[in-house]
Structure 1
Amino acid sequence: MNDYKIPAQTRIGHVHLKVSNLQQSLDFYSGLLGFEKMQLYGDQAAFISAGGYHHHIGLNTWQSKGAPRGPEYAPGLFHTAILYPERKDLAIILQRLIDEKYPITGASDHGVSEAIYLDDPDGNGVELYWDRPEEEWPKDDNGEIEMFTRRLDIEGLLALAK
């Protein structure tokens, strides 16, 4: 049983979130972050994507309409990570968050990636990030990836947004 490895080409296809207010979530994910609405199921669910895919994120109120935020220290999803294709794309969304005065909860350089952290309207964590090219990933003396958490060069990143 320990020798099974998932195929290397496997990807996480989408995330489906229970939300308390569909319009508020659409305002965040589509209005602020720029995801396209692909399909609405009345006022109960929406499927949104980047680039016309059927959906990267599903939002629904089927079991959560009007519910309060879950407790911070309960088991569950820590964050949804949204991968941007280029560093400049991360810079542009960071500038947009700043311009819209949307609260950012963190920013880190992980060696393999640079990331901005925030919460959606229901308190679900969201990571916006880009991956450095694999040949730039930090490695230890044995050639193993050596991730870390350091201060993100926000000024350098924002310079790309101009």
Structure 2
Amino acid sequence: MTTETSYALTRPAYVDQSHLVVTDLPLVSSFYQSMLGLKVIEKSASGEVLGVDSTPLLTLTTGRNVRIAPRNAAGLFHTAFLMPNRTELARWLRHAAHNNVVLDGASDHLVSEAIYLSDPEGNGIEIYADRPHEQWKFHQDGQVEMATLRLDLQSLYNSAPHDAWNGMADGTAIGHIHLQVGNIPEADTFYRDVLGLKLMAQRPGASFFATGDYHHHIAANVWNSRGAGTRADGMSGLSDYTLRFNDKASLDRAIAKLDELEIKSKKHNGGVFLRDPWGIGLTLSA
């Protein structure tokens, strides 16, 4: 069965992969396999690559000196796994309910329906499905209408097929990544003015950025981390992630902007690697 590519991934650029540093690799990997349904694609002495249908989504690595990051450190708010459709979101919810997965919350964001949880080391996770793009409402300034309303979990659960759950469906992807940062004006400067993402929505203490009028590929907030400085070496949590460009011209423009502003970067896997103002790694690639 051919799965239609999610709208988020057809935009000029999108989040492709995420890399977490953990203290207990077997425990965390087991969680993402059993509770989220990711499969191990690669293994090494220091880590594992997990994904769906041989597509890598999440890298987990560990080391001797890794320590749990404080809750107020800059880094990950959540990695958001985008389901191909609402049926797959409901199917995952049914699996979660039958396996006593503890949820942190659930929201109707108008553009999407989202369920929140955390892995065993406190890394935030969102499991969500987008509503059709033609149903989204946009303001005159180009920003998208979003809200945080109660999601009717019972109704979603009741809509799930009563078949066997065999893990994340083909076509599941990382739809967006949500970051904890030290301050929003600096995040706006970096993600909008340097990387060229469009500011799609704003909330008190948060900004949402995207390409191609998606609701957001990257978000940044200060809800737990206001005033946070650069991440220290050896912290658990988000090490880095990849922003993949669908055409090389867009990537070349982004790299040219980095050169123009004299932002430190280095060549990496056909693209460039840099760090945001809080030390979170980011690879731009085509």
> Cα RMSD (Å) of the superposition?
1.9
Pairing 1:127-142 to 2, within 5 Å after superposition: 127-140=126-139
- Listed one character per residue, the Cα deviations across residues 14-38 of structure 1 (whole Å, up to 9, x for unaligned) are 0000011111111111122111111
Is this contact kept in 1: 2:19–2:59, CA < 8 A?
yes
* Whole-Å separation in 1 of the counterparts to 2:94 and 2:37: 13
* Whole-Å separation in 2 of the counterparts to 1:23 and 1:146: 40
Percent identical among aligned pairs is: 38
Unaligned runs of 5+ in 1: 1-7
Question: Hey, what does 2:85 align to over in structure 1?
Answer: 86
> 3-state DSSP class of the match of 2:16?
coil
Is this contact kept in 2: 1:50–1:56, CA < 8 A?
yes
> 3-state DSSP class of the match of 1:15?
strand
2:16 aligned to which of 13, 16, 21: 13
Residues 143, 13 of structure 1: alpha-carbon distance in 2 compared, 3 angstrom cutoff: closer
Residues 146, 157 of structure 1: alpha-carbon distance in 2 compared, 3 angstrom cutoff: same
* Whole-Å separation in 2 of the counterparts to 1:41 and 1:71: 27
Question: Hey, what does 1:57 align to over in structure 2?
Answer: 58
Is this contact kept in 1: 2:23–2:63, CA < 8 A?
no
Q: TM-score scaled to structure 1, two decimals? A: 0.86
Count of paired positions: 152
* Whole-Å separation in 2 of the counterparts to 1:77 and 1:20: 16
* Whole-Å separation in 1 of the counterparts to 2:115 and 2:141: 30
* Whole-Å separation in 2 of the counterparts to 1:157 and 1:104: 14
* Whole-Å separation in 2 of the counterparts to 1:154 and 1:148: 17
* Whole-Å separation in 2 of the counterparts to 1:36 and 1:160: 26
Residues 63, 88 of structure 1: alpha-carbon distance in 2 compared, 3 angstrom cutoff: farther
- Listed one character per residue, the Cα deviations across residues 112-138 of structure 1 (whole Å, up to 9, x for unaligned) are 000000001110000000111001113
* Whole-Å separation in 1 of the counterparts to 2:139 and 2:158: 31
Question: Hey, what does 2:6 align to over in structure 1?
Answer: none
* Whole-Å separation in 2 of the counterparts to 1:63 and 1:106: 33
List, as ranges, runs of 4+ consecutive aligned residues in structure 1 with deviation greater than 3 Å. 138-144
2:82 maps to amino acid:
L
* Whole-Å separation in 1 of the counterparts to 2:103 and 2:92: 12
Question: Hey, what does 1:26 align to over in structure 2?
Answer: 29
Residues 64, 34 of structure 1: alpha-carbon distance in 2 compared, 3 angstrom cutoff: farther
* Whole-Å separation in 1 of the counterparts to 2:64 and 2:31: 20
Bigger strand share = 2
> 3-state DSSP class of the match of 2:74?
coil
Deviation at 1:142, TM superposition (A): 6.6
Question: Hey, what does 1:38 align to over in structure 2?
Answer: 41
Deviation at 1:97, TM superposition (A): 1.4
Q: TM-score scaled to structure 2, two decimals? A: 0.50
Deviation at 1:144, TM superposition (A): 4.3
* Whole-Å separation in 1 of the counterparts to 2:119 and 2:146: 26
- Listed one character per residue, the Cα deviations across residues 135-156 of structure 1 (whole Å, up to 9, x for unaligned) are 1113447774210000002122
* Whole-Å separation in 2 of the counterparts to 1:154 and 1:13: 28
Is this contact kept in 2: 1:119–1:125, CA < 8 A?
yes
Unaligned runs of 5+ in 2: 1-10, 162-286
* Whole-Å separation in 2 of the counterparts to 1:15 and 1:64: 21
Residue 149 of structure 2 corresponds to residue 150 of structure 1: yes
2:57 maps to amino acid:
H
Is this contact kept in 1: 2:19–2:60, CA < 8 A?
yes
Is this contact kept in 2: 1:106–1:117, CA < 8 A?
yes
1:59 maps to amino acid:
L
